[in-house]
Amino acid sequence: MMEILNTKVAIIGSGPAGLLLGQLLYKAGIEHILIEQRSADYVSARIRAGILEQVSVDLLKQAGVDQQLNELGLPHHGIEILTNGEKHRIDLSALTHGKQVTVYGQTEVTKDLMHARDEAKLTSFYEVNDVKVHEFYDLPYVTFNKDGQEYRVNCDFIAGCDGYHGVCRASVPADKIKTFEKVYPFGWLGILADVPPVSDELIYVQSERGFALCSMRSSTRSRYYLQVPLTDKVEDWSDERFWDELKNRLDKESCEHLVTGPSIEKSIAPLRSFVTEPMRFGNLFLAGDAAHIVPPTGAKGLNLAASDIAYLSSALIEYYLNGSKQGIDEYSEKCLKRVWKAERFSWWMTHLLHRFETESEFDIKIKQAELAYILGSEAGQTTLAENYVGLPYELKKFDELKKVSIKYAT
């Protein structure tokens, strides 16, 4: 027999978007259920992004999950760009009136949010099958199967936080959705290793042999990436080959400082730009990678997921505490404005720093001139810096919402 559950918001997906939304709704006293197809262990072990914008840090603080982040997050005030064998520092803080980014892995963000969820004993279903979203233009509900038991979750809203391959976007009728996509002809081969980072700050490398990135997770754990052809497989890349190729793309000084060691994770991620319009379909909202993908060059994927959730949580809180549908009605438009700016920045950084097989010698010279201009001009550097630290967005303060009389909350 089907088990029937009732809630206000059904959240599909337990990535950073779904977990953060759950935590913010919980803090505001709004009932929700989280539904995830993978196991909790799998979700909390995935290695992905590493850079948080200040607005993402602020949101985690608002969600009450910033304790570890405050202890272990590394504030970064600049990045290096290596081109023609020379490093150039972009002083992010000096160029953006004191703003910074924080190095703190998505894996840790996910673990912190899952821990908070466990502590609060919030309802979550992991390892479920056959998730389906129904009637989202009317009275929505979600069905799924867990351990042979069929479930139906009746809700007011569905939050589609189920990533690029999720079921929510795929369930929208084709005539109600438009997608925009650019697929890049290369991927990033990433490794994680328990060795000290080569430098105190991230180094973005533009070289004749292709792009590379030196990043980190802590003072003892490094994350390095290499641009590789899409035809390459992880098995083609022994640790030794990876380190040798990284050295080929780095400058002499960095090579001397580079500490190598066995990789503890190695994977290849293809690069893609992708946007869905709109991001709301009746009572179904898409958020994070379910709605858009950016190539990782600008470190924006996770941060965009967080800003969608800032808008969505605020809209839902406004609705339940205040009775206003304004935030809900404006959700898609507000998100997309920020999304397209981050798409542009990520696309631009990708073009500027990667080698494309199809580019002519003329194209290469133009790109070199553009990079030389950016690095040699305060205006150019400021453009890069203000996008990198994250563009601002406006939100009603949670405290302001709470002051208004409660109409819908039960």
Residue of 12, 103, 205, 271 interacting with ligand RFL (CB under 6 A): 12
Q: For residues 213 and 227, give the distance between their C-alpha atoms in angstroms, rounded to a whole number.
A: 9
Please say if 204 is a catalytic residue: yes
Half-sphere exposure of 99 (CA within 13 A, CB side): 23
Answer positive or negative: Cα dihedral of 212, 100, 310, 346.
negative
- For residue 221 the two structure tokens come to 């754990």
Site string for ligand RFL, 121-140 (x = CB under 6 A): ----------x---------
- The stretches of 275-360 forming alpha helices (DSSP H) are 301-322, 326-353
Residues 388 and 299: beta-carbon distance below 8 Å: yes
Q: Which of residues 104-123 bind ligand RFL (CB under 6 A)?
A: 106
Note whether 266 binds ligand RFL by CB under 6 A. Answer: no
Interface pattern 208-247 for ligand PHB (x via CB under 6 A): -----x-x-------x------------------------
Q: Which of 8, 16, 32, 76 is catalytic?
A: 76
Q: What's the closest the beta carbon of residue 22 comes to ligand RFL, in angstroms?
A: 11
The one among 21, 34, 49, 302 contacting ligand PHB by CB under 6 A: 49
One residue of 153, 161, 212, 310 binding ligand RFL per CB under 6 A: 161
Q: How many residues bind ligand RFL (CB under 6 A)?
A: 33
Smallest distance, Å, CB 5 to ligand RFL?
16
Which positions from 27 through 46 interact with ligand RFL, judged by CB under 6 A? Answer: 35-38, 43
300 given a catalytic annotation: yes
Q: How far apart are CA 30 and CA 395, in angstroms?
A: 19
Query: Given 3-state DSSP classes, what are the helix, strand and coil percentages for the chain, each rounded to the nearest 5?
Result: 40, 25, 30
**Order of strands across the sheet that contains 284-286:** 124-125, 32-35, 9-12, 157-160, 284-286, 280-281
Q: CB under 5 to 8 A by kind: which of ligand RFL, ligand PHB, none does 207 bind?
A: none
10 binds ligand PHB (CB under 6 A): no
Site for ligand RFL in 269-288 (CB under 6 A): 269, 288
Query: Locate tokens 């949670």: which residue?
Result: 398
Q: How far is the CB of 12 from ligand RFL (least distance, A)?
A: 5
**Nearest one of 214, 195, 196, 203 to 264, comparing CA atoms:** 195
Report the distance separating Cα 70 and Cα 310, nearest Å.
20
Stretch near ligand PHB under the rule CB under 6 A, chosen from 84-92, 237-245, 294-302, 327-335? 294-302
CA-based torsion, 65, 269, 347, 101: positive or negative: positive
Q: Of 252, 264, 257, 312, nearest to 288 (Cα)?
A: 312
Structure tokens at 290: 């379910």
What lies within 8 Å, CB to CB, of 87 at 6+ separation is 80, 81, 203, 251, 253, 254
Q: Does 10 bind ligand RFL (CB under 6 A)?
A: no
* Binder of residue 197, out of ligand PHB, ligand RFL, none (CB less than 5 to 8 A by kind): none
Residue 297 near ligand PHB by CB under 6 A:
yes
For the chain, give the number of residues: 410
User: Using an 8 Å Cβ cutoff, are 331 and 285 in contact?
Assistant: yes
Q: Which does 297 bind (CB under 5 to 8 A by kind): ligand RFL, ligand PHB, none?
A: ligand PHB
The alpha carbons of the chain give a radius of gyration, in whole angstroms, of: 22
Residue 184 designated active-site: no
Site string for ligand RFL, 292-321 (x = CB under 6 A): ----x--xxxx--x----------------
Q: Which residues are part of the catalytic machinery? A: 76, 204, 296, 300, 388
Residues of the shown chain interacting with ligand RFL in the complex, contacts defined by CB under 6 A: 12-18, 35-38, 43, 48-50, 106, 131, 161-163, 165-167, 267, 269, 288-289, 296, 299-302, 305
